[in-house]
Chains A and B, each alone.
Chain A
Amino acid sequence: MALGGILTVAANLIWLERRLLALWQDRYGPNRVGPFGLFQTIADAIKMFLKEDWIPPFADKAVFVLAPCIINATALLSFAVIPFAPGVQVMDLGAGLLFLLAMSSLGVYSVTLAGWASNNKYALLGGLRASAQMLSYEVYMSLSLMGVVLMAGSLNLSEIVKAQEGMWFCIPQCVGMALFFIAGIAETHRLPFDLPEAEAELVAGFHSEYSSMKFGMFFIGEYIGITLISALTALLYFGGWSGPLFGLSENLAPFVQFGWFALKTFILIGFFILLRASMPRPRYDQLIEFGWKAMLPLSLLNLLVTGAVVLALE
């Protein structure tokens, strides 16, 4: 059920993104199919399924097919440890946060292998960019998370949410949150960090050779990634499911808590889309330089200061 829900959300995000972008750019966006154009995604999906599924003869067939599976498998597996409401989750892993990092680090293979298997210069360049970018931003992502782990004293996501009952971590960990969010954008290679698929210079980057639903899987995988990073930010920094319960009974409380969690996640997704609408794309060397010269020292400093404060308060 959770799987179907996440896939539906990810698919409809494409519609949401197109409508929001249109709104911010003073146009209408897709508004013809169904009420408010809501069925546009279904129409797109049917179109994509009916297109020719072509594997180029010069490609490495096995790896070519494997690559789009990896991004979806790792992103969907990550949702296994996300608590949607107290007790509502697939598995309650003690080191849930590490599991998420492990899955996100395996996700790198998808783009890298797609770029290599396509046997195409543009795709290879896209794959190279993607692997360097995701490898380096993964470092800052995990380092910036450690501040939260220090304050909550646990790697378990439910425990981290419970530790935020007094104050959401977005206030004491504001630097860590900004770093995590920037790294999250780079991990999902979204604009402004979408250099692996920069269409102005690399055609479509690592997925240049992909057609039909294999391309669709990369597309959906990207939106699952956005949902995941937003859900994680909501969990780690904005108190997850916590919010006013309006004096509801025990039975109804999880629904309201899930509602709060979903609301926070969607606001963050909206922020992702707003970034796409408003930010220019940096040069590749600027991206890597920013990573190693600004993100790394800042995340280390954040970790150091958080550790010192936690130690002093004990």
Chain B
Amino acid sequence: MNTAFYIASAVAVFATAKVVTHTNPVHALLYFIVSLLAVALIFFCLGAQLAALFEVIIYAGAIMVLFVFMIMMLNLGTDTALREAQLFSPGIWIGPSVLSGLLLFELAVLFIQGEPQSASNAAMVSPKDVALSLFNTYFLGVELASMLLLAALVGGFHLGKRDQAEELPGEVK
């Protein structure tokens, strides 16, 4: 399990770096999907089977498809790749990388100071456990999230609703 964990982490880090540095948007998205799948594998190694599967179903399988869908519609060509390539001039990336380097340093210090925990001794969490804690301990959170989703649904419906006045010509009622 530990080897699988380290391989998956290496893939995740490499793929995420590629997402940032790739100039072709669709290729970058594909790397992002690989990174999400690697993270799902990490969850699986840690015993969170359900989280791993939801990561694949929701992030990799639904949200990223929408991203790919949008980029396909925009039909970005070589111009975008060139413009993206210009973004990699040192003046643009040095500032953010220094800041994130600081954060990385902090994280490394925290890891070295803290007790290292092995991934393999984590217990498997079954779907039933997740459901029980979701609908008992975190019931309020679930309700709030569902309300937020309802608001988003109503908003989406309002935005997508066509005005009676601007009916398309030739449309049969």
- How many angstroms from the CA of A238 to the CA of B61 in the assembled complex? 28
Whether B65 and A63, one on each chain, are in contact in the complex, defined by CB atoms closer than 8 angstroms, is no
- How many angstroms from the CA of A95 to the CA of B56 in the assembled complex? 13
- How many angstroms from the CA of A38 to the CA of B9 in the assembled complex? 48
- With contact pairs A94-B126, A124-B72 given, residues A108 and B50 touching in the complex (Cβ less than 8 Å): no
Whether B65 and A109, one on each chain, are in contact in the complex, defined by CB atoms closer than 8 angstroms, is yes
Q: Does B69 contact A (CB under 8 A)?
A: yes
Q: Does A143 contact B (CB under 8 A)?
A: no
Interface string of A96-114 (1 = CB under 8 A from B): 0011011001101100110
8 Å CB contacts to A: which residues of B31-50? 33, 49-50
**Which of B26, B68, B73 is within 8 Å of A60, CB to CB?**
B26
- Chain B residues with CB under 8 Å of A294's CB are none
Whether A102 and B69, one on each chain, are in contact in the complex, defined by CB atoms closer than 8 angstroms, is no
- Chain A residues with CB under 8 Å of B75's CB are 124
Chain B's closest residue to A93 (CB) is B49
Whether B49 and A94, one on each chain, are in contact in the complex, defined by CB atoms closer than 8 angstroms, is yes
- Chain B residues with CB under 8 Å of A108's CB are 61, 65
- Chain B residues with CB under 8 Å of A102's CB are 53, 56-57, 60-61
Chain B interface residue bracket vs A: 20 to 34
- How many A residues, CB 8 Å from partner? 28
Whether A63 and B30, one on each chain, are in contact in the complex, defined by CB atoms closer than 8 angstroms, is yes
Interface of A is mostly: helix
Shortest distance between the CB of B28 and any CB in chain A (Å): 12
Whether B69 and A131, one on each chain, are in contact in the complex, defined by CB atoms closer than 8 angstroms, is yes
Interface string of B117-128 (1 = CB under 8 A from A): 000000010110
Shortest distance between the CB of A149 and any CB in chain B (Å): 9
- How many angstroms from the CA of A108 to the CA of B64 in the assembled complex? 11
- How many angstroms from the CA of A94 to the CA of B127 in the assembled complex? 8
Q: Does A128 contact B (CB under 8 A)?
A: yes
8 Å CB contacts to B: which residues of A43-67? 60, 62-63, 66
8 Å CB contacts to B: which residues of A62-119? 62-63, 66, 93-95, 98-99, 101-102, 105-106, 108-109, 112-113, 115-116
Whether B27 and A105, one on each chain, are in contact in the complex, defined by CB atoms closer than 8 angstroms, is no
- Chain A residues with CB under 8 Å of B50's CB are 95, 98
Whether B61 and A105, one on each chain, are in contact in the complex, defined by CB atoms closer than 8 angstroms, is yes
Binding site for A on B (CB under 8 A): 26-27, 30, 33, 49-50, 53-54, 56-57, 60-62, 65-66, 68-69, 72-73, 75, 124, 126-127
> What are 9 contact pairs spanning A and B, CB under 8 A?
A94-B127, A95-B50, A98-B57, A102-B57, A105-B56, A105-B57, A106-B60, A108-B61, A124-B75
**A95-B50, A116-B26 known; 17 other A-B pairs, CB under 8 Å?**
A94-B49, A94-B126, A95-B127, A98-B57, A105-B57, A105-B60, A106-B60, A108-B65, A109-B33, A113-B26, A113-B30, A113-B68, A124-B75, A127-B72, A135-B69, A138-B62, A142-B57
